[in-house]
C-alpha cells in the first residue's frame, strides 16, 4: 500500500467538492439506483470479500460472513430508508428542506473495515453527499477489493474518493480540512476525542462510534443453559476484537458457582485456530502488538487479584506460531479493576457478582462507556425494565443480533450520534427553513 499524504487529501476533497455540485441535486430515485448498483457489485464478490477479511486480519469465517452480510444490508437498508424519507417538510408556516451537509469524511477501523465503509457511504449517498474515505491502514487488501466493486458500480466521478494512509497524516488532514463539512468516524475513544477537538475549528459535524465495555446482566430468573453460551459468544465475537463485545458478565452472587462452571464448560468448547475453518470461533489477534496488549491485560488481571477461571497467559497449545491467545475468563472480578474498566479488545471475559437487581444496574452503569448492553431474563417485562435503566445505545434482550434499520451508537464516551436507518440519515442532512 502506498501511504497518502495531505496533498492527496486536498486532491480528493477537491474532487468530492466538484462532484457535490451535481450529486447534491440528484433525485431520490437516482440515488436509489446508485445504491442498487453498489449493492449488486458488492454481492457479486461476496465470497472474495469474506476470504480477504480472513486472510488480511485473521477474522473468523463466521464473523467475516456476517460482516459481509452487513455490507449488503447497508445498501438495502439505505434504499428502504430513502424511499420513505421526507426531504421536504412543513413546519408551522414554513417549508423545511433537509439538505445534504456537503463533503463528508469517513474514517474507519480495521475490525470490520469494509462494512463500516459501506454503511457510511450508503448513508452519505442517500443524503446527496460526496465523500473522502480513509480506511484503516491495516485493511489495504480489503479496501482494494471493495474499491474494485465500487468502481464497477459506475458512480459519477468524484462521488467517492479514497485516500489510504496513516491516521496522524491522512486522518488529521481530513479532520482539519475546511471543505469537509462532517466526519463520520468509527474507532477508538482516544482518537475520536482528538478528531472532535480538531473538528471544532471548522465546526464540522461529527458522528463518533467509539469503544465499549458492555455489561451482560444475567438476572436471577434467566435460563442459564441458553444465556451462558450466548454470553461467551457475545464476549468472544470477532475474536474479542469488537466494540460491542459483552465483556463484563454480571451474575447474581448466589448463582456465581453455577455460572462459573457453565462458563468454563462453554469456553472449553470454543474452537481456537485457523480462522478460515467454519467452526472456528476465535482466530489470531490482528497483530503482534494486539497480542501483546491482550497478554498485558491477562497479566494485569492476575496482579489485580481476579481469579483465573480458564485460559491465561501465553499461546494455546499447538498454536505457538501465530498471534493466538487463550480464550480467557476471570471470575471474582471487581468492577473497579482495570480489566473491568478498560477495553481489552481480545477474548477476555470478566465475571462480576452482584447482590440484587439495583446493584446489577449500578454496576452495569459504572463505566465510562455506553455502547451496548445485554440483559437475560425469562420475564420480558422485567428484562425491559432493567434495559430501560442501563445507559447504553443498544440493549440486547435474550439476544445476540443486529437490526440494520434501528439506530446504533453510544452514550457517554462511546460516542456521539447514531448510525443506520432514519436516525443515521438525519445526521447527514441539515434543515433549511423557507419562510415565504
Ligand atoms: P483507531 O482509533 O486506532 O483507528 C481508527 C481509524 O482512525 C483508523 O483509520 C486510523 O488510521 C484513524 N486515525 C488514527 N489516528 C488518527 C488521528 N489522529 N486523526 C484521524 N484519524 C486517525 O481504532 P482501531 O484500532 O482501528 O479500531 C479499534 C477501535 O475501534 C476500538 O476501540 C473499538 O471499540 C472501536 N470500534 C468502535 C465501533 C463502534 O461502532 N462504536 C466499531 C468498531 C470499532
Instruction: Compute how many other C-beta atoms are within 10 angstroms of the C-beta atom of residue 11.
Output: 14
Q: What is the pLDDT of residue 65?
A: 98
Confidence check: pLDDT of 380 > 90? yes
Closest atom of ligand 1 to 410 CA is 41
How does pLDDT run across 80-94, given as a tens digit for each residue?
999 999 999 999 999
| Ligand 1 and 243: CB distance under 6 A | yes
Q: Which residues of 187-213 are buried (b: 16+ CB within 10 A; e: fewer)?
A: bbbebbebbbebbeeeebbbbbbbbbb
For atom 7 of ligand 1, the residue with the nearest CA is 167
Considering the chain, what percentage of its residues have pLDDT values greater than 90? 99
The model's confidence at residue 2, banded by pLDDT at 50, 70 and 90, is: confident
What global pTM score does this model have? Answer: 0.97
The model's confidence at residue 1, banded by pLDDT at 50, 70 and 90, is: confident
Q: What is the mean pLDDT of residues 287-302?
A: 98
Q: What is the mean pLDDT of residues 332-351?
A: 98
Angstrom distance (rounded) from CA 219 to CA 80: 37
Q: What is the pLDDT of residue 395?
A: 98
Domain 215-397 in CATH 3.40.50.300? The answer is no
Nearest to 280 by CA among 58, 125, 39, 124: 58
Confidence check: pLDDT of 317 > 90? yes
Domain ranges of the chain: 6-210+410-435, 215-397
Nearest to 67 by CA among 87, 42, 91: 42
| Ligand 1 and 139: CB distance under 6 A | no
10 Å CB burial of residue 380 (0-12, 13-18, 19+) is: exposed
| Ligand 1 and 109: CB distance under 6 A | yes
Q: What is the pLDDT of residue 256?
A: 98
Mutating to test ligand 1, I would choose from 191, 195, 287 the residue with most ligand atoms within 8 A of its C-beta, which is: 191
- Cβ-contact 414, 210 below 8 angstroms: yes
**Is 243 an active-site residue?**
yes
| Ligand 1 and 417: CB distance under 6 A | no
How does pLDDT run across 25-62, given as a tens digit for each residue?
999 999 999 999 999 999 999 999 999 999 999 999 99
CA of 167 to the centre of ligand 1 (A): 9
| Ligand 1 and 246: CB distance under 6 A | no
Among the options 209, 343, 419, 427, which is catalytic? 209
Among the options 64, 118, 149, 243, which is catalytic? 243
Alpha helices in 45-168 (DSSP H): 46-57, 61-84, 113-127, 140-153
How does pLDDT run across 222-236, given as a tens digit for each residue?
999 999 999 999 999
**CATH architecture type of domain 6-210+410-435:** 3-Layer(aba) Sandwich (3.40)
Q: What is the mean pLDDT of the chain?
A: 98
**Is 64 an active-site residue?**
no
Closest atom of ligand 1 to 414 CA is 41
How does pLDDT run across 111-122, given as a tens digit for each residue?
999 999 999 999
Angstrom distance (rounded) from CA 71 to CA 407: 16
| Ligand 1 and 136: CB distance under 6 A | yes
The model's confidence at residue 403, banded by pLDDT at 50, 70 and 90, is: very high
How does pLDDT run across 189-202, given as a tens digit for each residue?
999 999 999 999 99
| Ligand 1 and 427: CB distance under 6 A | no
CA of 57 to the centre of ligand 1 (A): 15
Q: What is the mean pLDDT of residues 9-20?
A: 98
CA of 434 to the centre of ligand 1 (A): 39
Nearest to 350 by CA among 240, 258, 222: 240
Amino acid at each position: 500500500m502506498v501511504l497518502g499524504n495531505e496533498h492527496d487529501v486536498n486532491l480528493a476533497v477537491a474532487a468530492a467538492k466538484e462532484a457535490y455540485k451535481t450529486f447534491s441535486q440528484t433525485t431520490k430515485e437516482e440515488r436509489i439506483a446508485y445504491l442498487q448498483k453498489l449493492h449488486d457489485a458488492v454481492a457479486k464478490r461476496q465470497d472474495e470479500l469474506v476470504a480477504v477479511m480472513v486472510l488480511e486480519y485473521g477474522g473468523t469465517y463466521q464473523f467475516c460472513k456476517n460482516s459481509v452480510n452487513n455490507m449488503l444490508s447497508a445498501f438495502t437498508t439505505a434504499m428502504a430508508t430513502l424511499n420513505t424519507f421526507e426531504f421536504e417538510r412543513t413546519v408551522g408556516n414554513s417549508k423545511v428542506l433537509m439538505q445534504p451537509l456537503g463533503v463528508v469524511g469517513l474514517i474507519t477501523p480495521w475490525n470490520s473495515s469494509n462494512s463500516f465503509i459501506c454503511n457510511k457511504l450508503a448513508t452519505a449517498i442517500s443524503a446527496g453527499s460526496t465523500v473522502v474515505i480513509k480506511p484503516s491502514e491495516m485493511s489495504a487488501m480489503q479496501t482494494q477489493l471493495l474499491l474494485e466493486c465500487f468502481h464497477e458500480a459506475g458512480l459519477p466521478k468524484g462521488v467517492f474518493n479514497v485516500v489510504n494512509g496513516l491516521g496522524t497524516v491522512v486522518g488529521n488532514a481530513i479532520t482539519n480540512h475546511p471543505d469537509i463539512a462532517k466526519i463520520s468516524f468509527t474507532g477508538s475513544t482516544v482518537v475520536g476525542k482528538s478528531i472532535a477537538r480538531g473538528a471544532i475549528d471548522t465546526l464540522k459535524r461529527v458522528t463518533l462510534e467509539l469503544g465499549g465495555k458492555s455489561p451482560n446482566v444475567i438476572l436471577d430468573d434467566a435460563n442459564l443453559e441458553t444465556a451462558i453460551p450466548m454470553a461467551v459468544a457475545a464476549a468472544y465475537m470477532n475474536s474479542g476484537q469488537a466494540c460491542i463485545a459483552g465483556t463484563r458478565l454480571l451474575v447474581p452472587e448466589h448463582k456465581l458457582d453455577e455460572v462459573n462452571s457453565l462458563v468454563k464448560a462453554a469456553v472449553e468448547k470454543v474452537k481456537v485456530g485457523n480462522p478460515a475453518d467454519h467452526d472456528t470461533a476465535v482466530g489470531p489477534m490482528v497483530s503482534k502488538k494486539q497480542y501483546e496488549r491482550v497478554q498485558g491485560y491477562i497479566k494485569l488481571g492476575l496482579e489485580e487479584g481476579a481469579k483465573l477461571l480458564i485460559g491465561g497467559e501465553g499461546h494455546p497449545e499447538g498454536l505457538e506460531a501465530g498471534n493466538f491467545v487463550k480464550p480467557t475468563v476471570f471470575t471474582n472480578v471487581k468492577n473497579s479493576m482495570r480489566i473491568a474498566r478498560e477495553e481489552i479488545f481480545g477474548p477476555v471475559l470478566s465475571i462480576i457478582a452482584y447482590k440484587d437487581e439495583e446493584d446489577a444496574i449500578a454496576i452495569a452503569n459504572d463505566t465510562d462507556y455506553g455502547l451496548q448492553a445485554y440483559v437475560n431474563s425469562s420475564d420480558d417485562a422485567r428484562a425491559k425494565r432493567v434495559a430501560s435503566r442501563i445507559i447504553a445505545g443498544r440493549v440486547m434482550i435474550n439476544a445476540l443480533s443486529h437490526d440494520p434499520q434501528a439506530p446504533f451508537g453510544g452514550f457517554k464516551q462511546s460516542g456521539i450520534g447514531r448510525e443506520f436507518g432514519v436516525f443515521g440519515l438525519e445526521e447527514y442532512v441539515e434543515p433549511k427553513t423557507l419562510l415565504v
